[in-house]
Homo-oligomer: A and B are copies of this chain.
Amino acid sequence: MFKDFKLIAGRPVYIQVKDYLKHLILKGALQGGQKLPSTRELSTLLKVSRNSIISAYAGLTDDGFAYTVQGQGSYVSLAASTESAAAPSWTVDWKERMNSRALLAEELDIMKRGIRAEKGTISFTSIAPDESLFDLDNVKRAFLDRMSVEGNVLLNYGYAKGYKPLIDYLRQYMEHKGVDMRGKDMLITNGFTEGFDLVLSALGQKHGRVLCENPTHHTAIKNMRLNGFDITGVTMERDGIHLGELKRALEEREYDCAYFVPSYHNPTGIVMSPEKRQGLMKLMAEYRVPVIEDGFNEELRYSGSHVAPLIAAAGGGNSVVYLGSFSKVLFPGLRVGWVLADQELIYYLESVKRARSIHTSTLDQSILYQYLLGGHLEKYLKRARTEYKRKYELTLECCKEYLPYVGLSGDGGLHLFVTFPEGFSTRELLDACRERGVIFTAGDIFFTNGTGQNTLRLGFSRVADGDIRRGIEIIGRAARQLLG
């Protein structure tokens, strides 16, 4: 006994001794009532200081695994080792006990259907930001600043609605996008995804149908389906959704809500034109369908004028629910997003949020707040836009040079969307490219109606310049071969 004890760095020695003894007690090597070695003895056996052994025994006693007899030494508690007299165990078939929603969540979980890439593969699958752009020092400083102002508050319970200073900051931020804030309120969420899921899960389903662009964000498709909605997708044109088709869809059926991504639409990268935004909002008002707006990557504009979000175009109306997040722009690890909407809706969403997860991490919120207040977003965006713009232009150039596409879109953001001739299969292309060390996202997962087999998405944010060129050249060569 005591021969397999090994120390690791970065953890107090006495706790490692305590953990080790617990382990021996639990596996029955030390029995209830058995006397533990003297502290001097164990110190020699484990080659650690006697003080560490003394502290370890005290810890064992605190945790109820040992007791001390004055003048005699420490003994293993009776209860600690006898509980292995376990109750009759039985086996649950958990899969069989899952409901249809849990099974569907697994089925639609593309992380579980993902392609495994060999090391060294050039991957265009990610649209997460490039980590090397992160300004860690300012994040550290933001944390330390906030902690010294109100560390105790940050570590205790916060509010379901969110961290007040952040809410106030974001309200002003949204006002500067032209939003009429009267009668509106805000809820902080664990990123866009939680916000979207909260809204969908609270909405009544009079018709059970939702309208959206086709293609659209695959996480959004997943959440609309998991919340039991039938999805009607409307074709995208070069400057956004096809208004004529949208009007026909609205004439044919009634919808509970619509979901749109007007800026840097995922996956097409299209920014809806201001005229189209007006037309869209007119139609939605005419047919009385509330809009859930995904403010995805609005900040990653590389050129052109400021384009107001739909919620600004709605003026004093309360029919648009805006979902915002800096995840894709700043730090995805900070799980912070927001829902800006009519105050009555937020009142109900607040209760749903509280029931689900009490509140969003206050540390994440306070770090983000302090970082924003200090003006670091502006500086970061300046650098990030320069970097991403260069990559964007390079990717665009390479696509034009190497790919036999019939359609190519992307007005900025972190990805481009490529359409090949009808009948072409980007799944086959992906198979061919993977063998040659290049992967991308086959576009079919973005389509609401089972089409899109001839499309793909190229995320360039995390690909080195040289790899962008090399990767797209390889895709192009493989595509030409498949086209014959």
Contact = CB atoms under 8 A, between A and B. Distances in A.
Interface stretch (A33-41, A133-141, A413-421, A442-450): A133-141
Given A94-B342, A301-B64, A315-B87, A99 B204 contact: yes
B147 A136 contact: yes
Contacts of A362: 333
Interface in A122-172: 128-129, 131-132, 134, 136, 139-140, 143-144, 147, 151-158, 160, 172
Contacts of A191: 357-358
A308 B98 contact: no
Contacts of A281: 86-88
Contact of A98 (B10, B65, B202): B202
A354 interface: yes
B89 A355 contact: no
A99 B202 CA distance: 6
Contact of A128 (B106, B157, B345, B381): B157
B190 A357 contact: yes
A54 interface: no
Interface string A96-138: 1111011101101101100000000000000011011010100
Interface size class of A (residues with CB under 8 A): 35 or more
Contact of A11 (B219, B332, B367, B373): B373
Contact of A156 (B80, B129, B373): B129
Contacts of A106: 347-348, 351
A156 B176 contact: no
Contact of A356 (B175, B194, B286, B354): B194
B352 A102 contact: yes
A88 B318 contact: no
Interface string A47-82: 000000000000100111100000000000111100
A274 interface: yes
A23 interface: yes
A306 B80 CA distance: 6
Contacts of A217: none
A318 B382 CA distance: 53
B101 A201 contact: yes
A212 interface: no
Give this chain's copy count.
Answer: 2
B274 A203 contact: no
A243 interface: no
B193 A358 contact: yes
Interface string A1-41: 00000000011101100110011001000000000000000
A457 interface: no
Contacts of A26: 175-176, 178
Nearest to A152: B131
A62 B382 contact: yes
A222 interface: yes
A348 B108 CA distance: 11
Nearest 6 pairs of A and B residues by beta carbon: A89-B317, A64-B306, A87-B281, A86-B315, A102-B202, A12-B375
Given A94-B341, A106-B347, A109-B351, 15 more contacts: A14-B375, A62-B382, A64-B305, A79-B307, A92-B342, A94-B342, A97-B290, A102-B348, A103-B348, A109-B350, A134-B152, A154-B333, A189-B357, A193-B356, A361-B364
17 contacts: A19-B176, A26-B178, A84-B178, A86-B312, A86-B314, A89-B316, A91-B318, A92-B318, A96-B204, A98-B203, A102-B349, A112-B351, A131-B156, A134-B152, A136-B147, A140-B147, A193-B357
